[in-house]
Chain A
Amino acid sequence: MDKATHRMLLYGALNIKNRFLGMYKQANAGHVGCSLSVAEILTFVRFGWMKEDDEIILSKGHAAAALYSMLAEDGTLSDDDIKTFYKNDTYLAAHPPVNKIKRIPFATGSLGHGLSIAAGLGLAQKLKKTDKNVFCVTSDGEINEGSTWEAALFIAHHHLTNVIWLIDRNKLQGYGRTEDVMKLEPLDKKLEAFGFNVLIADGHNFESLNDAKLQASDFGHPIAIICNTTKGHGWKTYEDKLDCHYLPMKDDQYSLIVEEVKYDFEKRITAIE
């Protein structure tokens, strides 16, 4: 990855995080940790990988603020739109809405739907013989859902190489750690057995995500990228704890997270300059 692209991605992620942190703070809302977990993945897919007419499905709809912030970063949503988050009379509910926002083709929020949505969009492109890709970002907890595995079988069987599945593997789900609730490991082996070429990436590191992208383009099979992440990445109080899924930020916590995000950005930007 060239330095200019890497720099652009770092600035993009900084803006996206700061924006959604502000949204959550203003709304006094939870799901902060879920968005911090997926922020770099969304940034990389939108600004470092997908073509303009490709689709992105955020199956883990509870990280909607990260998606809205990404859509504000690319100009789809305005600052005025963003200010309505969580308020009455908004389209920007806590989970992505129905039929209202460009680049959100489907409402998500009930887990286990997104990979089938991506499969159907991928199949449609195959039938229409276009070169559009469909990126689907799921959580790891929603891999509990049988429908996710139905979709995985379908994608592999129909050889939908235009579907790229990214798994936000933060190892925490709704009420416990994934390996305690319903063991997923060895996840890579399971996905390989289903017919996927599986790549492992650091989901907070753009160079690692870019390596996965470069490797993915060489495959002739459907791709699943296990993006290892930390839920609540940067929220030191609750990082990698269940609490960051649910709790809103207190004033002092908000200041500390913003500081941490800034520090992390400066460390990364210094490393590449």
Chain B
Amino acid sequence: MRVEFAQSMINAFDKNDNLVFITGDLGYMALEKVQEKFGERFINAGVAEQNMVTVSASLAHEGFIPWIYSISPFVTLRPYEQIRNDVCLHNLPVKIVGNGGGYGYGIMGATHHNIEDIGAMRILQNMRVYVPFTTSDVEQAVEQMIADKSPNYLRLNMGGKINHPVAPFAQWRKIKDGTKGVVVGTGPVTENILNSELADDLEVWVVSVFPIVELPGELISSVNATQKLVTIEEHNGECGLRETLSYHLMNHLTSNIKILALAASGYPTGKYGDQKFHQAENNLGGEGLQQELNAFIG
């Protein structure tokens, strides 16, 4: 999604006269054209994310829309208090872009992964989190974030090929129908459900903006009808989709619903590999996912 994001910024620059792009010393082979386009509005703030966030808060206070970019944990968790105090408490339109949410950085290891970012960001006051599902979502998400006057976090990940028509970027989208259970996923990991052997039987939704405010009536009806709900996220379930969706569903359930919550627990074996390896280790992909689905829906 990084390529699509860079192109989105280049496209947005011509339509908006108040964009500033700040990188935390990353972007090799990705941001060169953004730098060329933005000129003096492109700043490499160095490996100094705390300062980068607060500087961007001040720029937003002065009428700019700053986009700050780094690897996901470095731009969310490292400068967390700066995001909370200087950006979110003041409700300033700073746009935080974290590349490689979840296990996106694969073999780079645990320090470069982020399975807490959506939770950490979504609970901050005024913050809205954008999680694209497909590569073509990215530009639409960027456009919506520019129009969004709140602080935002954009979680970029590897986008795969989805063999179903996908509606334009929105908080809730139904990807396909199915009768044996309902899946709600966030981010590209949802694709693993669509590629599973039970895909035909499942109704699949993606949620792409947090916090969740309300649920689509159609989703509630489907959950009550099938009585089976699967959540999937490349993220910690405690503070992620599992927790927030459960809360919002609670008041709408008419019968005893069974839930299969597929989430990232970390590093079960302590070993490292590519993104698919970590997804498989956490039953978010591969045979582990298939077995979980078979046992739950089967």
Contacts and interface: CB of A to CB of B under 8 A. Distances in A.
Given A106-B90, A127-B20, A147-B82, A121 B51 contact: no
B46 A99 contact: no
Contacts of A3: none
A118 B57 CA distance: 10
Interface stretch (A73-81, A149-157, A194-202): A149-157
B108 interface: no
Given A98-B90, A99-B90, A124-B64, A106 B48 contact: no
Interface stretch (A109-117, A206-214, A217-225): A109-117
Nearest to A105: B61
Interface in B50-105: 50-51, 53-59, 61-64, 81-82, 85-86, 89-91
A250 interface: no
B41 interface: yes
Interface string A106-134: 11001011001111110111011000000
Interface string A43-86: 00000000000000000000000000000000000000000000
Contact of A120 (B48, B50, B57, B91): B57
A146 interface: yes
Contact of A121 (B48, B53, B61, B85): B61
B58 A147 contact: no
A164 to B, nearest CB: 15
Contacts of B50: 112, 116, 146-147, 150
B: contact size bracket: 20 to 34
Contact of B51 (A105, A106, A107, A150): A150
Contact of A99 (B20, B41, B64, B91): B91
A112 B48 CA distance: 13
B45 interface: yes
A119 B55 contact: yes
B281 to A, nearest CB: 34
A127 B43 CA distance: 11
B46 A98 contact: no
B46 A121 contact: no
B40 interface: yes
B119 to A, nearest CB: 22
Contacts of B56: 120
A106 B89 CA distance: 9
Contacts of A147: 50-51, 54, 82
Nearest to B81: A110
Contacts of B59: 120, 123-124, 127
Given A106-B90, A119-B51, A147-B82, A127 B57 contact: no
Interface in A85-109: 98-99, 105-107
A120 B43 CA distance: 12
A113 B45 contact: no
Interface of B: 20, 40-41, 43, 45-46, 48, 50-51, 53-59, 61-64, 81-82, 85-86, 89-91
Interface of A: 98-99, 105-107, 110, 112-113, 116-121, 123-125, 127-128, 146-147, 150-151, 153-154, 157-158
Kindly list the 6 A-B residue pairs having the minimum CB-CB distance in the complex, ordered from nearest: A120-B58, A116-B54, A124-B62, A150-B51, A120-B55, A150-B48
17 contacts: A98-B90, A113-B82, A113-B85, A116-B50, A116-B58, A117-B54, A117-B58, A118-B58, A119-B54, A124-B62, A124-B64, A125-B62, A127-B20, A127-B41, A127-B59, A151-B51, A153-B51
